[in-house]
Amino acid sequence: MEHKKINLTLKVWRQQNAQSKGSFTEYKVSVSPDSSFLEMLDDINNDLEKKNLEPITFESDCREGICGTCGLVINGQPHGPIPRIATCQLHMRNFKDGDIIYVEPFRAKAFPIIKDLMVDRSAMDRVMEAGGFISVNTLSVPDGNAIPIPKEIASEAMDAAQCIGCGACVAACKNASAMLFVSAKVSQFALLPQGQPERYKRVESMVKVMDEYGFGSCSNTYACEAECPKGVSVKNIARMNREYFMAKVKSQNVE
C-alpha cells in the first residue's frame, strides 16, 4: 500500500561558483515518505530539466553511507537530523507534512563551493597523501596471526578506521576543524605495529598539511563526534595531540 505523500517547502542554496554570490531558492515538493533525501533531489532535478531550467548540483556516489560524498547541511545539521547516518541514508519519513527544509553545502574555508551544494573536499585528500598510509612491501599475503594484536587495540584501530572522510566534522565545527578526521587516520596506524616505523613522521606531516589548507583548531564542543555518521570518538583527537607532542620531542623541534 502506497503511503500518502507529504508536502514540503525546500529552500536550497544555489551558487554558480566559488566567486559568485549565492542565495536560497524555494521549491515546493510533494514526495513519498519512502523516498530518500537524494531521491527527492533527483525528482526536483527531473522537473527542472523538463522546464529547461538548470538542475541543482549536488554530489553523491555509493548511496549506501559508505563513501561520504553525499554530505549536505540539512536544517543546520550535517547529514540531517538523524544521528549516525550519511545524507543518502536519510528518508523523507523523518519530516512532517508542511515542514520547511533548508539545504546547504558543507561550509568551510578549506571546502570552496564548486557549484550549488557541491564543494571541493580535495584538501582532505591532500592530508591523506601527506601520511595516511604505510610504506611497506607487502609481497605475499602474511598469515593473519603473524603479528599478535590485543583485541582491545585492534578494536580501537578499527573504530578509528571507520571514518569515511565525509567532512561532516568540519562542517559541524564552529572553527571548521578537521582534527577528528585527521586524528582518526593517525590513530588507525598509531595503534598497530604496521604503523610504527612512520609513526611520528606521519602525524607531523598530516597536521602540517591540515594547517596549510586552513582548517581551524579544535573547538572542544564535541560537535564533530555528534555529527559523525560513523560515531568516531573525540578520544582520537587526544591521542593525536599526544602523538604530535612526542613527535616534536623526538625531533627536538618543540615549539
Phi/psi for 12 (5° steps) reads -105, 135
Arithmetic mean of pLDDT over the chain = 94
> What CATH topology corresponds to 6-114?
Ubiquitin-like (UB roll) (3.10.20)
Percentage of the chain surpassing pLDDT 70?
Answer: 95
pLDDT in tens, 169-209: 999 999 999 999 999 999 999 999 989 999 999 999 999 99
| pLDDT for 140 beyond 90 | no
d(CA 209, CA 213): 6
pLDDT score at 98: 97
143 pLDDT tier (thresholds 50, 70, 90): confident
d(CA 155, CA 147): 15
d(CA 53, CA 170): 32
Let me know how long the chain is: 255
CB 173 within 8 A of CB 221: yes
Across 99-212, the runs of DSSP E, i.e. the strands, are: 100-104, 113-115, 118-119
pLDDT score at 148: 87
250 pLDDT tier (thresholds 50, 70, 90): confident
| pLDDT for 91 beyond 90 | yes
The HSE-up count of residue 73 (CA atoms within 13 Å, CB side) is 19
Mean pLDDT for the stretch of residues 82-105: 97
b (16+ CB within 10 A) / e for 144-159: eeeeeeeeeeeebbeb
Tell me whether residue 1 is exposed, middle or buried, using C-beta atoms within 10 angstroms of its C-beta: 0 to 12, 13 to 18, 19 or more: exposed
| pLDDT for 2 beyond 70 | no
Tell me whether residue 77 is exposed, middle or buried, using C-beta atoms within 10 angstroms of its C-beta: 0 to 12, 13 to 18, 19 or more: middle
Q: What is the pTM of this model?
A: 0.92
d(CA 95, CA 106): 21
d(CA 39, CA 231): 25
Structure-block grid coordinates of residue 134: 604505510
The HSE-up count of residue 124 (CA atoms within 13 Å, CB side) is 27
pLDDT in tens, 24-43: 999 999 999 999 999 999 99
Other C-beta atoms closer than 10 Å to the C-beta of 220 total 12
> Could you state, in order of their start, the residue ranges of all structural domains in the chain?
6-114, 121-251
Domain 121-251 has CATH 1.10.1060.10: yes
